[in-house]
């Protein structure tokens, strides 16, 4: 048995821990997707949780309290949408230093409230404890409104891979902030808080999506989750990916290839889904690849050289 969490890796540790918890009859979808689903009476509730730690997921000198609150809520609300569901409520666990400014905390709450308002969800409670740094743990709840959930495991050879939302913006903004700059504003703001296409999740379910997740760890990493769960190979085509002029300018200034940010940057929370090839997709869904028999993720038919995205405990 490995000695440390970093030896096991995030998903290996999660698998090992959850294997110790037998799933009851009320569990419709257990661990392994963007959210779990439990049966409640005659209905089903979608549940997910996520954490943000100061210094790793956000910095108070880079982002306002409101932005951090919005980002924390968005990461969880996005996971609900990625199941094809509609978020209804969140609960919040907050760890905070004793000298944290009350006004900052209230602004944080305003950010969570405002992001929830975008999808008609409510902040319904939580808990607060003392901590050396600011830590946020949010649980989001949602409902399927009669739709079947879209899991990560349904992609089939012959499907197309499509994305709705931004790719690489947040990573480009992070690179800008890391160099001490604050512009281009659109990219910096994308790092501070994603603009999530929440309604694209239920839309994908209605359109007949076969598999779906949100892009939080990076396009290649999250496409890898779909490929692994569905036991297929996904091939992404570079020419179908969008690089904005602002990203090109930043890439030129930093001596970096913005395509790397598009392929591996996280925190944009775009919706990534597979669809049967014959399904006509709305314009905002961009086909960026295809699904084949096999395993893993390739770019233009070849394995990608380098990190596929964010890896916890790396």
Provide the annotated binding site.
Answer: 34, 48-50, 57, 79, 126-127, 152, 214, 216-217, 267
Contact present, 266 and 218 (Cβ < 8 Å): yes
Contact present, 191 and 170 (Cβ < 8 Å): yes
Binding site per annotation, positions for ATP: 126-127, 152, 216
* Alpha-helical runs (H) found in the chain: 5-8, 10-18, 65-81, 102-117, 169-178, 185-192, 200-207, 219-230, 245-254, 258-264
Strands 211-215 and 43-53: unpaired
Phi first, then psi: what are they for 269, rounded to 5°? Answer: 55, 40
| Bridge partners of residue 49, in order along the sequence | 139
User: For residue 196, what are its two tokens?
Assistant: 């999530």
Binding site per annotation, positions for Mg(2+): 34, 48-50, 79, 127, 214, 217
Q: What b/e readout covers 91-111, taking b as 16+ CB neighbours within 10 angstroms?
A: bbebbbeeebeeebbebbbeb
Contact present, 218 and 309 (Cβ < 8 Å): yes
Contact present, 215 and 266 (Cβ < 8 Å): yes
């Amino acid at each position: 048995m490995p000695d440390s969490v970093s030896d096991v890796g995030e998903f290996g540790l999660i698998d090992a821990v959850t294997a110790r918890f037998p799933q009851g009859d009320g569990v419709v979808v257990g661990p392994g997707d963007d959210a779990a689903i439990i049966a409640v009476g005659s209905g089903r509730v979608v549940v997910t949780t996520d954490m943000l730690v100061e210094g790793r997921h956000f910095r108070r000198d880079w982002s306002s309290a409101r932005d951090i609150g919005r980002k924390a809520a968005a990461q969880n609300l996005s996971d609900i949408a990625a199941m094809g569901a509609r978020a209804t409520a969140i609960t919040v666990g907050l760890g905070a230093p004793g000298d944290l400014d009350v006004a900052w905390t209230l602004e944080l709450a305003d950010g969570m409230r405002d992001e929830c308002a975008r999808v008609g969800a409510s902040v319904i409670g939580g808990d607060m404890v003392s901590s050396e740094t600011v830590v946020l743990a949010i649980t989001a709840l949602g409902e399927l409104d009669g739709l079947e959930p879209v899991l990560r495991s349904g992609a089939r050879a012959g499907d197309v891979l499509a994305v709705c939302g931004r790719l690489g913006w947040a990573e480009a903004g992070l690179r800008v902030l890391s160099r001490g700059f604050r512009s281009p504003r659109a990219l910096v703001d994308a790092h501070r808080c994603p603009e999530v296409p929440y309604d694209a999740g239920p839309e994908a379910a209605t359109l007949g999506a076969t598999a779906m997740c949100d892009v939080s760890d990076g396009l290649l990493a999250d496409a890898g989750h779909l490929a692994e769960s569905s036991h297929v190979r996904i091939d992404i085509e570079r020419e179908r990916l969008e690089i904005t002029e602002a990203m090109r300018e930043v890439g030129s200034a930093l001596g970096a290839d913005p395509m790397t940010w598009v392929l591996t940057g996280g925190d944009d929370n775009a919706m990534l889904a597979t669809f049967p090839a014959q399904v006509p997709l709305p314009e905002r869904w961009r086909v960026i690849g295809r699904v084949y028999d096999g395993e893993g993720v390739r770019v233009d038919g070849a394995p990608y050289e380098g990190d596929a995205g964010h890896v916890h405990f790396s």
